[in-house]
Amino acid sequence: MPGGGITLVGATNVDRVEAPVTMKAYMMCAFAAFGGIFFGYDSGYISGVMGMEYFIHMLTGLDPPPAGATADQKAYFALPSWKKSLITSILSAGTFFGALIAGDLADFIGRRITIIAGCAIFIIGVVLQTASSGLGLLVAGRLIAGFGVGFVSAIIILYMSEIAPKKVRGAIVSGYQFCITVGLLLASCVDYGTQNRTDSGSYRIPIALQMLWAIILAFGLFFLPDSPRYYVKRGKLDQAAATLARLRGQPVGSEFIQQELAEIVANHEYELQLIPQGSYFNSWLNCFKGGLRKPNSNLRRTILGTSLQMMQQWTGINFIFYFGTTFFQELGTIPNPFLIGLITTLVNVCSTPISFWAIERIGRRPLLIWGACGMFVCEFIVAIIGVTDGSNHKAVSAMISFICIYIFFFATTWGPGAWVVIGEIFPLPIRSRGVGLATASNWLWNCIIAVITPYMVGTDKGNLGARVFFIWGSLCVLCFLYAYFLVYETKGLTLEQVDRMMEETTPRTSAGWVPTTTFAQEMGLTDKGTLDPAIVEDVERKGSVV
Ligand SMILES: OC[C@H]1O[C@](O)(CO)[C@@H](O)[C@@H]1O
């Protein structure tokens, strides 16, 4: 019988009642979002460090220009492009591979322990970077730290999507994006605070501080349960029941817990029937099976997840966060380009929480569709102003205003939306790898954009200047079409119902979909039942409930 050892259950009831979300349960699910700080801080601090005098001197042997130096002398005192590119992109290389293998580990040792392992690897990388006084150790440290960030960034999405109650899952996963934005802000503030130091503390302090985020996350996770879906995958139903009970703040024998668990088990069994796991290699191949014609095939979902994350980067957001300051410096009319950098980062932080509400009330699909529209309109306006009147002070102020509105649209829609959707669209047998692949795609495109945009935009290179916003705007038009034609509405459904919904609808009809039957019913299971009383008793005896 499906679920070995469990007597199934009202999985089954399409209208089963969800456990009420207690504050404690909410906090437990939301805590992991803290890991987003790694992502943001790591992406953010390095550009400031690469402009610091002590750091440039250390890696080039050049002496800082004297007071009153000419513009040429100042420009000469900088890291060569290849070093900048290597230092920046090596982290993404590590994160890319980290995210790819993290999924496997998460199925094997659990979601929680994989994140804790990611924190430990990250700390090793940070220690090496902090101790470095040359390029070799610094690059090695960033590669290792990146590997750890890859683990953390992929598995946190998986973990949060799997433990959160369906009603608040979107809001909780959006909390991860919020923490990314806070990380970016913290990085700017710390860089700002240490930039004028004339000793190695200027770069060592921002680098070493990151250990704090890893320690807090790893420490907190020690006290949290793993994902019940992980235990179901491993066939450990007693532990699945116990963790679900803790997460929902309900007794293990309650109907809430029994029914929710039964739904997870039934769905897992159903998915395994479709595509059995087989050997290790075969189980990886499962992510690409099912062909392109079947709307909910694993291949289609893998393409959807990876391309959604690619599109999130194609919106051009990191052009603003990585190169915004230099872009405004080159326009020449802004007295304090660093301040503009700070303003854009603040708009990002302050706008993202709106998505906590919007993603549950308005839904994922409309948010992505309208967010893309808002972004392309703003980007075309910025491009037009920049091309026609880019040297006029008022025009530049208008450009900055539209860039801030663009960031508002990103932060409330595509920023969190892409993470929420990738956590929801994969069936359990391939979920960890699917989320890992999608996260790796985000990092890959993050890296590609970081490497190529300076060549496209710079005055000595492609010289696109403000015209680059025509490119970002056009890519946002693609994002709009993509969301309209390919993204399903997953709001308010359990992860198991998402599976069913993708089988029965198309993206455009998905919003009105209501579950009428469940996998468990189809598998001939009754719609009323209970957990094996022996399991309930055992779990209660161990005292691991609530
Ligand atoms: O908030 C902006 C940040 O969000 C991300 O797109 C990740 O979701 C990062 O690549 C970017 O720096």
Residue that the structure tokens 């308010």 belong to: 492
163, amino acid identity: I
Tokens 């998915």, residue? 271
* Closest to 441 in 3D by CA, of 535, 307, 246, 321: 307
Q: Answer for the pair 105, 115: CB distance below 8 angstroms, yes or no.
A: no
Question: Cβ distance 431 to 91 under 8 Å?
Answer: no
- Residue 197 near residue 54, CB atoms below 8 Å: yes
| Calpha distance 125→209 (Å, rounded) | 13
What the block records as the tokens of 490 is: 């997953």
Q: Is the ipTM of this complex over 0.90?
A: yes
Closest atom of ligand 1 to 322 CA is: 12
For residue 415, the ligand 1 atom closest to its alpha carbon is: 8
The reply to whether ligand 1 has any atom less than 6 angstroms from the CB of 318 is yes
Contacts of 456 (CB under 8 A, 6+ apart): 462, 464, 468, 471
Q: Is residue 479 classed as helix, strand or coil in its secondary structure?
A: helix
Q: Are 152 and 119 in contact (CB under 8 A)?
A: yes
Among the residues of 195-287, which ranges form H helices?
A: 201-222, 228-233, 237-248, 255-274, 280-285
530 dihedral zone (left: phi>0; alpha: psi -120 to 50; beta): beta
**Maximum separation of any 2 CA atoms in the chain, in Å:** 83
Residue 391: Cβ within 10 Å count: 10
pLDDT tens track, the chain, 546 positions: 344 444 444 444 555 667 777 777 778 888 889 889 988 998 888 878 888 888 989 998 888 888 777 767 777 787 887 888 788 888 888 999 999 999 989 999 999 999 999 999 999 999 999 999 999 999 999 999 999 999 999 999 999 999 988 888 999 999 999 999 999 999 989 988 888 888 889 889 999 999 999 999 999 999 999 999 999 988 888 899 899 988 888 888 787 888 888 888 888 887 777 766 666 666 788 888 887 777 778 899 999 999 999 999 999 999 888 877 777 777 766 667 778 888 999 999 999 999 999 999 999 999 999 999 999 999 999 999 988 876 788 888 899 999 999 999 999 999 999 999 999 999 888 999 999 999 999 999 998 988 888 777 765 555 778 889 999 999 999 999 999 999 999 998 988 889 889 888 889 999 988 887 666 666 554 444 445 566 666 666 655 433
Closest C-alpha among 218, 220, 28, 38 to residue 116: 218
Q: At 150, list the tokens.
A: 């890859």
Locate the ligand 1 atom nearest the alpha carbon of residue 410 and give its number: 1
The residue contributing the CA closest to ligand 1 atom 7 is: 415
Q: Could you give the 3-state DSSP secondary structure of residue 375?
A: helix
The span from the CA of 526 to the CA of 522, in Å, is: 10
* Other CB atoms within 10 A of residue 147 CB: 24
386 Cβ neighbours under 8 A, 6+ residues apart: 331, 395, 399, 465, 466, 467, 469
Count how many residues are written for the chain.
546
Residue 43 CB–ligand 1 contact under 6 Å: yes
Contacts with 14 (C-beta within 8 Å, 6 or more apart), sequence order: 515, 516, 517, 518
Mapped onto helix, strand or coil, the DSSP state of residue 13 is coil
Closest C-alpha to ligand 1, atom 1: 181
End-to-end CA distance of the chain: 28
- In the structure encoding, which two tokens stand for residue 207, read together? 């680098």
Element (DSSP H or E) covering residue 315: none
Supply the pLDDT for residue 4. Answer: 42
Question: Ligand 1: which residue has its CA nearest to atom 11?
Answer: 318
**Cα 318 to averaged position of ligand 1 atoms, centre (Å):** 7
State both tokens at 310.
């690619």
With a 6 Å cutoff on the Cβ, whether 296 touches ligand 1 is no
- The answer to whether the CB of 348 is under 6 A from ligand 1 is yes
